[in-house]
Chains A and B, each alone.
Chain A
Amino acid sequence: MTATQELHSHELPQKERMIQETAAERLERVGAAAYRIRHHALNMGEVQGQGYVGQALGAADMLATAYSDQLRFRADDPEWDARDRFLLSTGHYAIGHYAALAEAGTIPVAELETYGSDDSRLPMSGMSTYTPGMEISGGSLGHGLPIAVGMALGLRYQDSNARVYNFLSDGELDEGSTWEAAMGAHHHQLGNLTAMVDINALQADGKTDTVLRTEPVTEKWEAFGWYTQRVDGNDVGSLLAAFDNAAAQAAAVGRPSVILCDTKVGRGVPLLEEREKAHFMRIEEHEWQTCREQLTAGYEGKDAR
């Protein structure tokens, strides 16, 4: 597939795209995107000497599903009116989002090495005012879903069928504003709104169930009237199926949908998967190359199976 075809293919909803591929080919394509996103994140982390690499690795499959399969966008025109909106409310996941935007072609891959440097367009915490393709300034958690509600209302009022995706984390379920928005989205029947929640069960001060218990998460969203699915967020096949289900029931007026994604911090790099879980993962200078080698070995090993 040429770059031009790829560009145009993202302008249509996934189900209407002219891409002729088997389910296996689709799985392979999205999995490969996730693999590249993980490599980008490791490279960015190494340049910084630190960063939220664990989260980026954990969320790479969600980001790949969104950017290489589900979202409608023009890589070279991030302000395109008809684009689907992807709102990153977890600002510290920007490292993963930049990697996904590079994979999508909105940011040059070569620019990723400026991550977190002075005068870079890629600050440590994601901001709309810095980065093409960043819809909102996240970081103060619990803002994404309220903004998404307004965007979905505004797009519907202006007869757009663009969809609004809000990427949030399980830690953000602590914020009351998230639930204000969950009620608002259901009340206004924002059927083009989809929340994707990264449940890595980890917050800044420790495991989620020791910081502020959020479970039962599925029942909470169901009780708020959302079309709720819970999947293995590191299984691309499950993610594709869940996003397809959400797309199938999306409508200007209808139930908002949430995809609850159980993920593993550091996924794809055994060294980090097994390390004591930390919100801000320390990786020694000599370990970066090991991380990359483990990531590649795991991916190629899976490929060979």
Chain B
Amino acid sequence: MSTATATTGAAPKLKTSAMIASFADPGQKTASAPFGHALVKAAQENDKIVGLTADLGKYTDMHIFAQAYPERFFQMGMAEQLLFGAAAGLAETGLIPFASTYSVFAARRAYDFLCLDSAEPNLNVNIVGGLPGLTTGYGPSHQATEDMAIFRGMPNLTIVDPCDSIDIEQAVPQLAASDGPTYLRLLRGNVPTVLDEYDYTFELGKAKVLRGGNDVVFISSGLMTMRALQAAKALAAHNVDVAVVHTPTIKPFDAATVLAEINTDRLAVTLENHSVTGGLFETVASAVVTVGLGKRVVPVALPDEFLDAGALPTLHDRYGLTVEKIVAKVLAELK
């Protein structure tokens, strides 16, 4: 590439940000390390709660807990099999462990240890996975685009895909209080605060209608609920009235609430920060088929492929997760 073409091109190319980068929009209201602070708060009320990590405390907001409760925090080193085996052992003694690493390592590397040591005996082990879906530009080694697909097959495991800091703050004590293992798709660092503008509380296992709408219904989880709400506002300018149903618990799935919303004449769209294979879309699709609904569902999801490395805004645009891409897709469907 010559200097001339580089300087005469359009905007300069975006750079891959450091791993700690936030996906919050500029100027958006955020909360710092909501998981870490929520865990500290839960631990103040429940002395059975302990924390552990595999050399990623600072990168999963577990360091907040470690600083508050050093005697209740166990650093297991870069050893994910040990991390989750030991988490099961801690739970066997009556404690309530929260064990953090990146989602890719929990799902791909330590699956056997989660499945047999925690899920089979139904222990209260809480897996905290950082960088779920497409929340880093580091490429397939760090992008857990298929974590829910992997984990949905694990009996007894509860899967939570929170939207924002409110979801995380309210989910943590409920995860601690629920029997059996859980998996939290962690949003960390400066996490957007979105759901405080709605009449909403997180209830484990429940989907909630955040807003009504006559033309389209969005079924969404995770950070895509934030995008769904933004897209709903943008579509109003096109005279398209959009309802948004947030379903942060992927398993067990609140099929009753979701199916009641889907079983209308509205265009049904699922939105997820996950591969189109094995995540929210297929969860909804199986619920629809199971009750015999002949209803088309349009997925907004990551493609079933290894994704590119790069800057997060570039990648969200490339793979269709941005508000603009969602709006365009809905308008095309309605034509």
Residues of A within 8 A of B (CB): 85, 127-129, 135-137, 139-140, 142-143, 145-155, 157-158, 160, 176-177, 180-181, 183-184, 187-188
Contact = CB atoms under 8 A, between A and B. Distances in A.
23 contacts: A129-B121, A135-B92, A136-B117, A137-B117, A140-B116, A143-B112, A146-B113, A148-B89, A150-B85, A150-B90, A151-B93, A152-B89, A153-B74, A154-B50, A154-B90, A154-B95, A155-B93, A158-B93, A158-B94, A177-B81, A177-B85, A177-B113, A181-B86
Given A146-B89, A151-B90, A184-B76, 14 more contacts: A142-B81, A143-B85, A146-B84, A146-B85, A148-B89, A149-B82, A152-B89, A153-B89, A153-B90, A154-B91, A154-B94, A154-B95, A180-B82, A184-B79
A181 B85 CA distance: 9
B86 A150 contact: yes
B88 A150 contact: yes
B87 interface: yes
Given A183-B77, A183-B79, A129 B120 contact: yes
Nearest to B75: A187
Contact of A140 (B50, B79, B84, B112): B112
Looking at chain B, what size class is its interface with the partner chain?
Answer: 20 to 34
B197 interface: no
A137 B92 contact: no
Given A149-B82, A150-B89, A143 B116 contact: yes
Contacts of A137: 116-117, 120-121
B199 interface: no
B72 interface: yes
B117 A143 contact: yes
Given A128-B121, A136-B117, A154-B94, A149 B81 contact: no
Contacts of B81: 142, 146, 176-177, 180
Interface in B109-136: 112-113, 116-117, 120-121
Contacts of B120: 127, 129, 137
B121 A149 contact: no
A183 B113 CA distance: 17
Given A143-B85, A157-B71, A151 B92 contact: yes
A155 to B, nearest CB: 5
Nearest to A148: B89
Interface of B: 50, 71-72, 74, 76-77, 79, 81-82, 84-95, 97, 112-113, 116-117, 120-121
Nearest to B97: A150
A245 to B, nearest CB: 25
Contacts of B84: 146
Nearest to B54: A180
B117 A147 contact: yes
B231 to A, nearest CB: 44
Contacts of A184: 76-77, 79, 82, 86
Contacts of B77: 180, 183-184, 187
B113 A149 contact: no
Contacts of A143: 85, 112-113, 116-117
Contacts of A155: 93
B82 A157 contact: no
B40 to A, nearest CB: 17
A176 B121 CA distance: 23
A127 B117 CA distance: 10
A155 B97 CA distance: 13
A146 B113 CA distance: 9
User: Ordered nearest first, which 9 A-B pairs have the shortest CB separation?
Assistant: A150-B89, A146-B85, A150-B86, A154-B93, A180-B79, A177-B81, A151-B89, A180-B82, A147-B89
A79 to B, nearest CB: 11
A149 B83 CA distance: 10
A183 B54 CA distance: 13
B27 to A, nearest CB: 44
Most central of B71, B77, B85, B89 by chain A CB within 10 Å: B89
B96 to A, nearest CB: 10
A280 B62 CA distance: 46
B89 A149 contact: yes
Nearest to A156: B93
A188 B74 contact: yes
Nearest to A81: B94
B121 A146 contact: no
A141 to B, nearest CB: 10
Contact of A150 (B72, B79, B87, B121): B87
Nearest to A138: B116
B99 to A, nearest CB: 10
Contacts of A145: 85
B92 A147 contact: yes
A172 to B, nearest CB: 13
Most central of A145, A148, A150, A183 by chain B CB within 10 Å: A150
B86 A149 contact: yes
A146 B95 CA distance: 16
Contacts of A149: 82, 85-86, 89
Nearest to A147: B89
A182 to B, nearest CB: 9
B254 to A, nearest CB: 28
A128 to B, nearest CB: 6
B175 to A, nearest CB: 18
Contacts of B116: 137, 139-140, 143
A136 B71 CA distance: 26
Contacts of B71: 157
B112 to A, nearest CB: 6
